[in-house]
Structure 1
């Protein structure tokens, strides 16, 4: 049974939390690792460097979209795949536990599942531009 009165607020909390985390990760790639460093890291994984810039932009813009509730369902769905990409390219070889050196795959996979769940649940309360209006 779902509490239809409170569920939109639970979704809002998850949307705000994940939005803040994505925004933080995007800004960290921009200001701490720098775009050149982010590209270099992606290249060290055998990926094209430009994919690091795309990922940084997706995290930054996706974080803002989640915080504001602009097409949050679609954004959550897309960010879920970015998290799976991180899990399988950067973290898979480090084992399961995220406390392992280099971070294992459990944390990004868990967040990917959270993002896919948000895509299913909906935009939540106070979304500026929900996918569909009732």
Structure 2
């Protein structure tokens, strides 16, 4: 049974945590790895370099949107695909455990499941711009 009184606050917690993580990852790509370095990494995976910049922007903008609660369901659904891409391109060959060198695929797959669950659950409490139903 779902506790409809507290569920919106549980969703808020997930939204804030995942939003902060996406923001951190996107800003790391921007300021530490730099856009050029991020593009180079994506190219080393056999992907187009521009996809690295798109991913970086999606992580920053998506993270801020989740924190603020702006169309969180739609944003969560979209970010699910970023995480699936990370799991299958950057981490799949490293095996299951994220403790493996280069990180395994189970961590981004878990976050993909969390993002998809958030897309299903809704915007949660204190969303600035809830997704219309």
TM over 0.5: yes
What is the match of residue 129 of structure 2?
Answer: 129
What is the match of residue 112 of structure 2?
Answer: 112
Alignment map for 1:1-134 (pairs within 5 Å) = 1-132=1-132
Task: Quote the Cα distance in structure 2 between the aligned partners of 1:21 and 1:82.
Answer: 13
Moved >2 Å (runs of 4+):
none
Q: Alignment RMSD, CA only?
A: 0.7
Deviations 1:29-71 (A, max 9, x none): 0000000000000000000000000000000000000000000
How far did residue 6 of structure 1 move? 0.2
Task: Quote the Cα distance in structure 2 between the aligned partners of 1:55 and 1:12.
Answer: 24
How far did residue 132 of structure 1 move? 2.2
Task: Quote the Cα distance in structure 1 between the aligned partners of 2:95 and 2:33.
Answer: 24
Task: Quote the Cα distance in structure 2 between the aligned partners of 1:90 and 1:42.
Answer: 9
Task: Quote the Cα distance in structure 2 between the aligned partners of 1:2 and 1:31.
Answer: 41
How far did residue 114 of structure 1 move? 0.1
Aligned to 2:3, what secondary structure does the other structure show? coil
Task: Quote the Cα distance in structure 2 between the aligned partners of 1:29 and 1:52.
Answer: 9
